[in-house]
Amino acid sequence: MKIEKIIVRDFRSHEFTKVTFTSGINLIIGQNGSGKSSLLDAILVGLYWPTRPKDLKKDNFLRVNGKSTEITIFFEKDGVKYQVHRNITRNIAFAKYYDNGTWHHLTEANHISVKNWVEKLIPYDIFVNAIYIRQGEIDAILESDESREKVVRKVLGLDKYENAYKNLLEVRKVIESKIKGIEEYLNAMKNIDDMIKEYKNNLNNVIKEIEEISPQIPKIRNEIDALRKKLEKLDKIAKDIENLKEKKSEIEKTLERIDTRIKSLTTSIAERESKVKDLEEKVKELEKIKDDAEKYIELEKFYKEYSEIKSKADKEIRGYEGQISQIKERLNELERKANELKELQEKISEIDKEIKELEEYVKQYEEYLRIKNTIESLRKRLSLDEDNLKELKSEIEKAKLRKEEILNEIREIEKRKGELENAIREKRKAILELRKAKGKCPVCGSELTEEHRQELIKKYNLEIENYEKELKHLHNREQNLRAEQVRIEKILKKEKIVIANEEILNQIKENEEKLSKYNLEELEKKFNKYNNLSTEKNKLEGRLKSIHDELRNKNILEERKTNLERKIYEIKNNLQKYDVKLKNLGFENIETLKDEIERLKSIYEKYIKLSDSVKELIKEKNLLENEINELNSLKKKKFDVENELNEVKEKLENLENSYSKEEHEKVRSEYIEKRESLREAETELKNLEKRKGELTKNLDKLKNEKKNVEIKKKELENLKKVKEKVQELREKVRKFKNILKEDALAKVGEYASEIFEELTEEKYSNVTVKAKDNKVVLGIVYDGKERDLSFLSCGERIALGLAFRLALSLYLAGEIPLLIMDEPTPYLDDERRRRLVDIMERYLKKIPQVIIVSHDEELKDAADKVVRIRLENGVSKVEEVEVC
């Protein structure tokens, strides 16, 4: 696979980014947070989203203020060009291939179809474990045996076998729980036949009770029907009597209301006739003063309007004249500020020259502070001072020498133990032959007597005893040496701390040497002067901008002054029109108008008081006519109501003669008693029917449960067999995982040996990889002897870490056509970075395409193409640089 191009829109910090990749080493370089790793995440999302990778969330994709996240990847595999496009925001996706100058669709236009197609072409596990080397993996390989184990487990996917092993244990527990549950169930159901017999007896008893109660209910219902009909007849008579009494009372109240209203109307009609005569006199007077009242309204209206306009005009003219005065003062002030502007520009120009001369000193001061902070940061990382470091280093050197002595002595002991064990076996064999021998001695060939036999056996037993004593002594000595070896190994493990602290101390010394070259007192002086000048410049520029802004207002002020003068002219012109109208009304001035208004005011007030008389007169005449009509109507209605009352009294008397209240209450009591008897009988029957249903249902359940008991017995036998098979499978998974790990590590060791041998110019002949408990122990072979990682130089350790990680990729993929590395050098010093550049030039260039993300400038020396990324106002900007 070869990635040719990626286009990204609104993804994290990328607004629009297009990057083309070439064969060889492509270096993506930039400061932390500039958006380098986001490009690698875009490749993962573009190929495998939405189901993978799971740690990349859709909510984190869209750039702040972005509109739509889009990713397009162009790549080539097996000679065919492909294109994968995703619009995450609009939920659009497609995959295409290129043939005969045209792109052709490969999948349906949705994310899942595209992801499934990519998985078939390049499986996700192969991509993220064989092609993509994440940040920190090489460091983890070199950090410790335990961290190396984690990398191996993750890359080779061994966790899924361990999960299977653990899951099978959970399956076994579930099966055991089911077995226990079935056994408890079968134990609870052992008396099921007795329970079925008991339920059948109870059901028969309930059926007998139902048969006794059922015939009684129809008889009671017939008696209730007869009583109900009689009660309904008596209820109707009682209700009719009550209704007639209520109707009689209502008619009597109606007659009383009619009499009251007739009296009230008679009085009201007399009063209203008198009021109508008074109103007719007022209407005649109103007509006489109407013209004067109307004239008053016209003159009053003009007076108010003239007064308001005059007052408002005077006020506005005073305001406008005040504004014109202020504008004139402001224009004079702006003339003075125009002269100040030239002086400010000259001062700023002088300050700029001084600042430019000081910029180099500021850069030096900032570099001084950066180096100083670096030294402080490095000192915090130190876990040992120089004296302790020397002591520990000396202790480690002594431990190495002592370890070699111990190993040599142990080898000698094991050799001697082997010789003694062989001697003991020989002597015991000789004793056995002596005991079996007859005639000649098997040792010296002379005549074998019993005395000679016993002497030889005694001699050999004594020699065996001496050998065993020596063996015991050697065994004790070996145990003591191995105990001492364990203590020494603990000391040797501290070598990593020594190496780390030495590297930090070297970096501190290098930075202190750089720091000593700077004249701090002079730099601080220059830096403070630079800051003071910058502050003064900012103030002057602020003042300059303020004056510029004010001068831009000059034209506006002059235009505003002209507008105000024009408004004053318009107001005065409008006042002249009102004076002309005043003379047309017949008045020389406003005072004569005011006197006429005062004269007409009393006439107008009288007119207002009388103005409602016309309406009131019409209203009173209408009311008088309505009351006369209502009085006539009430007299006729009274006669009709009196006739209706006599009819109701006659009907009520007839019904009361045919009704007995005592008989009514007696029938009601008998009806309620019979109905209660029926309810009790029906309730008892209903309960019995319910009991019958419950017993029948429970009896059916017990019969079904009896069938279920047989099923559970068979299920119990099957579960016990399954439990045994699950345990067998669990053991097979454990054995297979161990075999797979050993086989994988052996093959990885072969690949790593080939790569490491080439990276070190055949200085080392082999890389050893061993699995021990939860560790992966890595070693190398030098001069025919196996060595641990402390034997390697810093650069060789990096080469070994890279060789081991590439070997893992080769094991998974068989070959490496594409390699992606995210920040392979996050904590390397200058020497190690230079060594990595050598490794890249000598080995990584053999891989068809390599993409490396880093912030280290040194790596560009080994790159075939450099892509620079920087952050501007929160947006990633890309610049592609071809390397000659």
The pLDDT tens digits for 445-458 are: 677 788 878 888 88
The rounded distance, in Å, linking the Cα atoms of 15 and 661 is 99
Over residues 537-559, the pLDDT tens digits come to 888 888 888 877 777 777 777 78
What percent of the chain lies above the pLDDT cut of 70?
97
Answer whether 185's CB lies under 8 Å from 712's CB: yes
- Name residue 480's amino acid: N
Whether the link from the prior residue into 50 is cis, omega within 30° of 0, is yes
52-66, 208-222, 479-493, 817-831: least confident range: 817-831
Top mean-pLDDT range of 537-541, 581-585, 827-831: 537-541
Query: What was the pLDDT predicted at 86?
Result: 93
User: Any binding-site annotation on 101?
Assistant: no
Over residues 112-168, the pLDDT tens digits come to 999 999 988 888 877 877 788 887 777 777 778 787 787 777 777 777 777 777 888
Angle of helix 386-436 relative to helix 450-493, nearest 10 degrees? 160
User: Any binding-site annotation on 708?
Assistant: no
Q: What average pLDDT does range 606-633 have in this prediction?
A: 83
**What 3-state class would DSSP assign to 11?**
strand
pLDDT tier, 16 (very low <50, low <70, confident <90, very high otherwise): very high
User: Any binding-site annotation on 37?
Assistant: yes
Convert 474-499 to b/e letters by CB count within 10 Å (16 or more is b).
Answer: beeebeeeeeebeebeebbeebeebe
Instruction: Please name the CATH architecture into which domain 386-515 falls.
Output: Orthogonal Bundle (1.10)
Query: What was the pLDDT predicted at 828?
Result: 57
The rounded distance, in Å, linking the Cα atoms of 473 and 425 is 19
Encoded tokens for 759: 């990276």
Query: What was the pLDDT predicted at 445?
Result: 65
Is 340 a residue whose pLDDT tops 90? no
pTM (predicted TM-score): 0.42
Q: What average pLDDT does range 199-208 have in this prediction?
A: 82
Q: What average pLDDT does range 180-194 have in this prediction?
A: 80
202 class by beta-carbon count within 10 Å (0-12 exposed, 13-18 middle, 19+ buried): middle
Query: What was the pLDDT predicted at 866?
Result: 92
pLDDT tier, 883 (very low <50, low <70, confident <90, very high otherwise): low
User: Any binding-site annotation on 747?
Assistant: no
Over residues 756-810, the pLDDT tens digits come to 787 777 778 788 888 887 788 888 888 778 888 888 877 777 778 888 878 877 7
Is 815 a residue whose pLDDT tops 80? no
Q: Which residue in the block uniquely carries the two structure tokens 């390989």?
A: 141
User: Any binding-site annotation on 779?
Assistant: no
The rounded distance, in Å, linking the Cα atoms of 245 and 248 is 5
**How would you list the strands of the sheet with 785-787, edge to edge?**
766-772, 775-782, 785-787
Query: What was the pLDDT predicted at 833?
Result: 66
Q: What average pLDDT does range 831-855 have in this prediction?
A: 78
User: Any binding-site annotation on 794?
Assistant: no
Query: What was the pLDDT predicted at 21?
Result: 93
Q: Categorise residue 108: left if φ over 0, alpha if ψ from -120 to 50, beta otherwise.
A: beta
Is 826 a residue whose pLDDT tops 70? no
Name the phi and psi angles at 81, rounded to 5.
Answer: -90, 135
Rg for the chain (alpha carbons), in Å?
Answer: 58
The rounded distance, in Å, linking the Cα atoms of 758 and 126 is 25
Q: Which of 48, 50, 36 is nearest to 89 (CA)?
A: 50
Q: Which residue in the block uniquely carries the two structure tokens 């990635």?
A: 3
Query: What was the pLDDT predicted at 14?
Result: 93
The rounded distance, in Å, linking the Cα atoms of 389 and 384 is 6
What residues does each domain of the chain span? Answer: 2-125+816-882, 216-288+612-657, 291-379+520-570, 386-515
Top mean-pLDDT range of 112-126, 334-348, 720-734, 741-755: 112-126
Q: What average pLDDT does range 190-203 have in this prediction?
A: 80
Higher pLDDT, 4 or 672: 4
Q: Which of 24, 42, 6, 5 is nearest to 819 (CA)?
A: 24
Query: What was the pLDDT predicted at 557?
Result: 77
The rounded distance, in Å, linking the Cα atoms of 95 and 119 is 12
Mean pLDDT of the chain: 83
Is 317 a residue whose pLDDT tops 90? no
Over residues 383-402, the pLDDT tens digits come to 888 888 888 888 888 988 98
The rounded distance, in Å, linking the Cα atoms of 626 and 633 is 11
Over residues 69-123, the pLDDT tens digits come to 999 999 998 889 999 999 998 889 999 999 888 999 988 888 999 999 998 888 8
Query: What was the pLDDT predicted at 825?
Result: 63
User: Any binding-site annotation on 38?
Assistant: yes
Number of Cβ within 10 Å of residue 599's Cβ equals 10
**How would you list the strands of the sheet with 92-99, edge to edge?**
14-20, 2-11, 70-77, 80-87, 92-99, 102-105
47-61, 62-76, 830-844: least confident range: 830-844
The rounded distance, in Å, linking the Cα atoms of 703 and 193 is 9
The rounded distance, in Å, linking the Cα atoms of 640 and 87 is 92
Is 18 a residue whose pLDDT tops 90? yes
Q: Which CATH superfamily is domain 2-125+816-882 in?
A: P-loop containing nucleotide triphosphate hydrolases (3.40.50.300)
Over residues 228-244, the pLDDT tens digits come to 888 888 888 888 888 88
pLDDT tier, 657 (very low <50, low <70, confident <90, very high otherwise): confident
35-39, 275-279, 672-676, 833-837: least confident range: 833-837
Answer whether 85's CB lies under 8 Å from 150's CB: no
